[in-house]
Amino acid sequence: MMEKLFQERKEKLVFFKRLRNKINHQTRNEIPDGLYCKCASCNETILQKVLVNNLYVCPRCGHHHQLPAHQRLALLYDQGRYKELYQQIEHLNPLDFPGYDEKIKMLQDKTKLDEAVVVASGKINGTKVITCVMDSRFLMGSMSSAVGEKITRVIEHATKRKYPLIIFCASGGARMQEGIYSLMQMAKTSSALARHHEAGLLYISYITHPTTGGVTASFAMLGDIIIGEPHALIGFAGARVIESTIKQKLPEGFQRTEFMEKQGFIDLIVKRQDMRSTIIRILKMHSKGAK
Amino acid sequence: MALIDLEKQITQLQQQLSNSENKEEQKALKIQIAKLKDEAYNNISAYDRVYMARKSNRPHIQDYIQNIFDDFIELHGDRLYLDDGSIMGGIALLDNQPVTVIGHAKGRTLDENLHCNFGMSSPEGYRKALRLMKQAEKFHRPIITFIDTPGAYPGLEAEQHGIGEAIARNLREMATLSVPVIAVVVGEGGSGGALALSVADRILMLENSVYSILSPEGFASILWKDKEGTRVKEAASLMKLTAKDLYEMKIIDHIIKEPKTGATVTSQKVYEQLKDYFIKTILELNKLSKTNLLNKRYQKYRTIGQVSVL
């Protein structure tokens, strides 16, 4: 029965992707649009269609490639239906950073996203759930004022309406171009989460590749339950900075979800094909009817 | 010319002056020194402030504790793993009002700096800070934090022990502390490592301190791939990291004035200003109900980088 469900999901995903007339994305570590692409881990040449149908997971080695925000939402919500909230948010350029406004505009055109996070509401197995999905195609998923604002707004909304919350993290950390404003978004989002927490509501933090810097040091590590995707990077400082500080090589698998699970900072690692079903099980155990 | 170079020249001339026996020469040197000082301290750039914020002759937490509070008992350890020397904390008396004091420690000698890891904290440090803040809340003591860190420690163990989690937890817990919290950036306010002690009702900065997302060196390196440090000055002025910048951006509430040549251990006026501000502000914050205090703290951060949906 589960298989049938997944088959349906996959079909919907393909349909959905066609509907969104294929988003263009060509940064590193990403799957370029085309007939074929290469797995970033095992180098296997894969039919693009096959990879998409396999939820962007390499059919040969199981490597989880980055999943664009809307594809993840479509995969997560019932019938792939959800409502995107707080779109077309205003941008700040508090440092008057040269070329920053143009860069945002260019990325908006290229990714069809308004910022590095998509926030949405919809039903998962009939339960209303608020979701934030960060998308690393947009300036490495870095934390801008707009990202902080969208996430804070939606947390406040979830607190007010008593909805559970899921944040899919993916971020290079701070948005350098916004300076101290970016840093303060860590305090802003964490303060909003404190209220959601005090209201006794469920927050699932979902670590996807890569989650680093200020996002790790704020909402990524504040989940009641912290889930990791296989082999996703999760850490605070960059590996190169650490190596140059301590003058030694870092161990194999350092700052990967499996490593941090062993260290006691991640509750469980879930394969993408089990994402929705795992979330449904967790939601059920937190529903009012559960005894 | 940058302050760092001008100060070197001034020191050189002062040495010449003390060695000189010729009255004419002495007079000329004195004039030259005065002129240089004028040039040095009347045109302070953002990069000069970074240099001043990092100077080792600035007052450190021990100096503030000694000069502002009447009594202090240092408390150690995070009750989980160890005692991180990069964060100092304890209970103090501020004019008979018990307060909890927590802050980054920096040293002046190599030994001292090794003990406090140059002010770079590990997760244990942030957890110690949180333990002391929770203790303060239990006994209704206001909290005063002193921020002076280049940033959280980028080490192997720090990552293994969850530095991200430690900082994140502090941010969330500080947002709900039911006692007044005042944070003072006294030197370097470096990134998340600084923020983890500064979710507060009032944030102050010393005139020559800086508070930023990362060091100007890091900023130049990340954004411009500047490895030789040729664009660090440019980065410093672009980043808006001085006390004046942050006051204008409404991120901080007050600036503590420093002597023209920068605060040193003997700058009594700096201690006096801080003491007055603490006493006055704690009195003011103590009048607020818990809900009111927390709402105001929430709003303080809520409005930073607030943007509207079109």
For residue B99, give the 3-state DSSP assignment: strand
For residue B212, give the 3-state DSSP assignment: strand
First-to-last alpha carbon distance for chain B, in angstroms, is 46
In-domain check, residue B5: no
Tell me, what amino acid is at A191?
S
First-to-last alpha carbon distance for chain A, in angstroms, is 26
Cα(A25)–Cα(A30) distance, integer angstroms: 7
Residue A1: the pLDDT is: 63
Average pLDDT for chain A: 90
Burial group, residue B279, by CB count within 10 angstroms (0-12, 13-18, 19+): middle
pLDDT band with cut points at 50, 70 and 90 for residue A80: very high
Kindly give the pairing relationship between strand A225-228 and strand A268-269: parallel
Residue A89: the pLDDT is: 84
In-domain check, residue B2: no
CB B173 within 8 A of CB B122: no
Q: How many CA atoms lie within 13 A of B254 on its CB side?
A: 17
| CATH number, domain with residue B217 | 3.90.226.10
CB A213 within 8 A of CB A173: yes
Whether the pLDDT of residue A291 is over 60: the answer is no
Mean pLDDT of A251-265: 95
- Which of A:209-238 have CB within 8 Å of B? 213-214, 216-222, 234-238
Residues B180 and B259 reside in one and the same domain: yes
3-state DSSP percent of chain B in helix, strand and coil, to 5? 50, 15, 35
Which of the residues A151, A157, A188, A196 would you substitute to probe the B interface, choosing the one with the greatest number of B C-beta atoms within 10 Å?
A188
B207-225 pLDDT tens trace: 999 999 999 998 898 888 8
Residue A13: the pLDDT is: 67
Whether the pLDDT of residue A29 is over 80: the answer is no
- Determine which helix (DSSP H) or strand (DSSP E) holds B178, and give its type and residue range: none
Tell me whether the omega of the peptide bond preceding residue B259 falls within 30 degrees of 0, making it cis. no
Cα(B262)–Cα(B4) distance, integer angstroms: 12
Residues B29 and B83 reside in one and the same domain: no
Which residue range forms the structural domain that includes residue B17? 11-43
Kindly give the pairing relationship between strand B210-212 and strand B181-190: parallel
Mean pLDDT of B131-158: 97
Which of the residues A85, A183, A189 would you substitute to probe the B interface, choosing the one with the greatest number of B C-beta atoms within 10 Å?
A183
In-domain check, residue B223: yes
In-domain check, residue B48: no
Whether the pLDDT of residue A28 is over 50: the answer is no
Strand (E) positions, chain A?
A: 36-38, 45-47, 82-85, 117-124, 127-134, 165-171, 203-211, 225-228, 268-269
What's the length of chain A? 291
Residues B18 and B90 reside in one and the same domain: no
Q: Given an 8 Å threshold on Cβ–Cβ distance, is B213 in contact with A183?
A: yes
Whether the pLDDT of residue B64 is over 50: the answer is yes
CB A116 within 8 A of CB A141: yes
Number of Cβ within 10 Å of residue A181's Cβ equals 26
In-domain check, residue B246: yes
Which of A90, A95, A222 has the CB atom closest to B238's CB atom? A95
pLDDT band with cut points at 50, 70 and 90 for residue A15: low
A178-222 pLDDT tens trace: 999 999 999 999 999 999 999 999 999 999 999 999 999 999 999
Least reliable range by pLDDT among A21-30, A108-117, A160-169, A182-191? A21-30
Whether the pLDDT of residue B308 is over 80: the answer is no
A102-134 pLDDT tens trace: 999 999 999 999 999 999 999 999 999 999 999
Number of Cβ within 10 Å of residue B265's Cβ equals 16
| CA max distance for chain B | 74
- Give the count of domains, chain B: 2
